[in-house]
Amino acid sequence: MGKKVYTKDDWIEIAKDLYLSYTEKGERKYSFRDIATIIYERYKKQINYATISRWCKKYEWEQLDQDIKNLAAEKSIDDYGRDKDEKIKDKKSTELAEIFKLEQYKYKAANKLVTDLLKEQINEGKQHFSSKDLALLSNYAFDRLSEFMDLKTDKNKDLREVAEALRNIE
C-alpha cells in the first residue's frame, strides 16, 4: 500500500477541521499559522497561512464557527434550564413514540391481513357475506392476529376483548 494522495479538497477539509477546534473555554484553538504548521508537521505538506485565510473567507468558515457557537449556547441553556421531570418527560415521550410507531405497524398489518382474507374469499366466488360469514372470517383473522400481535398479554387486553366479542357473533 502506498501513501494516501490528498486532493485540494482534502487539504481544505483538514484545515477547516483544525480551524473549528476549540479550547476548554470555547475559543478557537488554532490561528492560521498554527494550522499551517500542524499540517506540515503531520502530513509534510507546505500550505501558506495566507492560503488558509483565503479558504476561511471563501468557504465562510467564520459563519460556520458562529453557527456552531450559537447552537452550543442554545444546547447549554436547554440542558441547564430543564428540570428532572422535563428530562423524564422527554425521554419517556421518545420511548412512547417508538411504541406508537410499532402499534401503527401492527394495525396496518392487521388491516392488510383482513383485506387479503376478504379478497381471497371474493376471488373464490364469494360476493355477499352474511353476518355469520363475516364473524367466521373475523374469527379466523383474529386467530392469526393474536399470534402476530401477542394478544395474550395484558397490554393488548382491549384487542382481546374485541376478538372475543366478534367470536360470539353468530
pLDDT tens figures, 43-86: 999 999 999 999 999 999 999 999 998 888 777 776 565 666 77
For the entire predicted model, the pTM comes to 0.47
- For 94-117, how does the pLDDT look when each residue is reduced to its tens digit (9 = 90+)? 777 777 677 666 667 766 777 777
**pLDDT(169) > 60:** no
**pLDDT(170) > 60:** no
Cβ-based neighbour number of residue 39 at 10 Å = 19
Dist CA 22 CA 28 (whole Å): 5
- Among the residue ranges 86-90, 138-142, 153-157, the one predicted with the least confidence is 153-157
- DSSP letter for 44, please: -
Nearest-10 Cα torsion for 164, 104, 152, 162: -10
Find how far residue 127's CA is from the centre of its chain: 45
pLDDT of residue 153: 55
Per the listing, cell 400481535 goes with: 149
Strand, helix or coil at 140? helix
pLDDT of residue 59: 95
- DSSP letter for 3, please: P
